[in-house]
Amino acid sequence: MTDDRKAPDNQGEGNREAARHYNDAQEKFARSGKVEEAARDAKNALDGPEAKDLKDAEREGLKPARH
């Protein structure tokens, strides 16, 4: 018995399809007219009660990866 389904292509780190989806979504967002609102929300978050958590998360994300 054979399985006719094709395994998904593993494109590794250079996944062009994922990059295209990401770029399309970013362009759609940029054209949506919601960029200024999102920027204000981000600034308010950094100035508000969640500032410490956001800074902690940023610091964690900037650490070198452990392999």
- The residues spanned by each domain of the chain are 35-62
> Cβ neighbours of residue 11 under 8 Å, at least 6 residues apart?
17, 18
CA atoms within 13 A on the CB side of 36: 1
* Main-chain phi, psi angles of 3, to 5 degrees: -105, 115
Q: Is the pTM of this model over 0.75?
A: no
Q: How confident is the model at residue 67 (pLDDT cuts 50, 70, 90)?
A: confident
- Residue type for position 31: R
pLDDT tens digits for 17-49? Answer: 989 999 999 999 999 999 999 999 999 999 999
